[in-house]
Amino acid sequence: MTKKSFPLSKVYGLLEPGPVVMLTTARSGHPNIMTLSWHTMIEFEPPIVGCVISNRNHSFELLKATNECVINIPTVEIVEKVVGCGNSSGANIDKFKMFSLTAKPAEQVGAPLIDECFANLECRVIDTDMVAKYCLFVFEVIKAWIDPTVKDPQTIHHLGSGNFMIAGERIKLKSKMK
């Protein structure tokens, strides 16, 4: 699909609602995908994101070695692939092949974009001070992409143990909050 550049100032609105994301990394031409929900915005602009990645995950070592990743945001259309990636380890398999996902080159980082996701955020690790204690990486989003044809993305939200909530109705209220 054809993605458009997305303003960095609006990235927080993609992650703040708390979707399940697919984090991609790559080393020596071998890409990996990890499914996770433990992320938070830390700053609006430049967009800074905190992300907990257990050291039991293959992606932990890839991230430590490369300091780069892409946060890809899936919708319910590919939920089987999202859960499949969460159920398997990239130490043994190529998840792009296994789950028929398309790796597209990123612009700023070595990790690939997952084409089937409606949004892709290219990230650099900017702070590892909290990795030893909490496995918490701090990323700066340096380039963002969006599929302009997706209007109200049906993002997936994990309730635990394979139970998911799908993004529902949209409402707007008068708010002073950014």
Give contact residues for a second copy (rule: CB under 8 A): 10, 12-13, 16-19, 35, 37-43, 48, 50-52, 76, 79-80, 83, 86-87, 127, 129-130, 133-134, 136, 138, 152, 154-155, 157-178
Q: How far apart are CA 45 and CA 141, in angstroms?
A: 9
58 vs 106, which CB is nearer to a second copy? Answer: 58
Q: Are 1 and 115 in contact (CB under 8 A)?
A: yes
106 vs 120, which CB is nearer to a second copy? Answer: 120
38 vs 60, which CB is nearer to a second copy? Answer: 38
Minimum distance from residue 78 beta carbon to a second copy (Å): 12
Q: Are 38 and 52 in contact (CB under 8 A)?
A: yes
Minimum distance from residue 108 beta carbon to a second copy (Å): 23
Minimum distance from residue 28 beta carbon to a second copy (Å): 27
Minimum distance from residue 143 beta carbon to a second copy (Å): 19
Q: Which helix (H) or strand (E) holds 65?
A: helix 58-66
70 vs 138, which CB is nearer to a second copy? Answer: 138
Strands 39-43 and 48-52: antiparallel
Burial class of residue 122, CB neighbours in 10 A (0-12, 13-18, 19+):
buried
Q: How far apart are CA 114 and CA 97, in angstroms?
A: 12
